Structure 1
Amino acid sequence: MLEALIFVVFPFCMAFAIVSDMVSMTIANRVSIILLATFAVVAPLTGMAWADYGWHFAAGASVLAVTFGLFAVGGMGGGDAKLMAATALWMGLSPQLMQYLVHASVLGGALTLVLLIYRKSPLSAFTGGNMFLRHFANEKVGIPYGVALGAAGLMVYPSTPLMQWALSRLAAG
């Protein structure tokens, strides 16, 4: 049961954030709340040391402080800031957090460049009515960074301590 939560909750929330940001340019608060609550309950049950548990929360709080500052100056959306902090909670202060931040930055930059080109192309007029592409085609809206944040989370998640714990349990069982 515990392994199933580890295998399902985080990836589902990342996929939901990607689709939600594509369709509505929002990432619901419930995504970040589910990530936070699930981690808070599941991590201690895996035998994670309390000090490590605390460091995971420190990672989430640190990322939230930085992203809240970026939100305050208009540098990022509130949903993006909360999603990054909740994702950092699952990564902890680890190499995986750095990998996540680098992947999110690279994917976010690539997404921005691709959307700027796409929005100026005739293709955007042709595909702009599609439910999944309408915000990509609209020059008046921002960039749905939840797409990059979710994709980066999915890329790094398999190497996180919780996922490695779950995989080792399955291999042993």
Structure 2
Amino acid sequence: MLQAALVSFFPFLMIYSAFSDLVSMTIPNKVSLALIAGFVLFAWWTGMDLETFVWHWALFAAVLVASIALFAFGHIGGGDAKLAAATVLWLGWDHALSYLFIASLIGAALTLVMMRLRGNIIPGSVEKVEWIARLYRADSGIPYGIALGAAAIVIYPQTRWMEPVFNLALPGM
């Protein structure tokens, strides 16, 4: 049961946040809160030592402060700030820089795609679908939760959370 929960909980929330940002330009607070609560539960469940647990929280605090500053200057959305902090809480110091780098690359590609999309006339067949029409508007932001979620899913299999899964799947190795 632990293995199934580890394989599904974090990735599900990352996919949910990406789709939520795509269709509504918001990442609900409940996603970040679920990630935080899930981290505490899974840290206990997998026997994470106290020192590692504290270092994960220190990283969370650092990213939260930095991302709130970016939000204050209008560079990212509030949901993005909270999601990034809650995500690195799970990934830890070993994977945080890789995560942020990959999220930046995906975010840059997403921005270029959105700029290209916004240079086109919206097709009549989708102009009545509000969330698609919003993607075409130049005054709308970039759903950066897509980049944050995708980068997290890329990095997650390399984290300590997958050790119990891989140990079960590959006995004797």
TM-score, structure 1 normalization: 0.91
Partner of 1:13: 13
Residues 109 and 172 from structure 1, CA distance in 2 versus in 1: closer, same or farther, beyond 3 angstroms? same
Aligned residues: 171
Cα distance in 1 between the residues matched to 2:43 and 2:170:
19
CA RMSD, 1 decimal: 1.7
Amino acid at match of 1:169: L
Give the unaligned 5+ runs of structure 1: none
Cα distance in 1 between the residues matched to 2:149 and 2:14:
4
1:3-42 paired onto structure 2 within 5 Å: 3-42=3-42
Residue 157, structure 1, aligned to residue 151, structure 2: no
Partner of 1:60: 60
Partner of 2:107: 108
1:54-93 paired onto structure 2 within 5 Å: 54-93=54-93
Deviations 1:123-165 (A, max 9, x none): x344444465333212221111001111111111111111223
Q: Secondary structure at the match of 1:133?
A: helix
Amino acid at match of 1:62: A
Partner of 2:166: 167
Deviations 1:92-136 (A, max 9, x none): 111x211110110011111111101111123x3444444653332
Amino acid at match of 1:34: A
Cα distance in 1 between the residues matched to 2:80 and 2:150:
13
Q: Write out the 4+ residue segments of structure 1 that deviate beyond 3 Å after TM superposition.
A: 124-132, 169-173
Partner of 2:118: 119
Residues 109 and 51 from structure 1, CA distance in 2 versus in 1: closer, same or farther, beyond 3 angstroms? same
1:81 offset after TM fit, Å?
0.3
Give the unaligned 5+ runs of structure 2: none
1:119-158 paired onto structure 2 within 5 Å: 119-122=118-121, 124-126=122-124, 127-130=126-129, 133-158=132-157
1:64 offset after TM fit, Å?
0.5
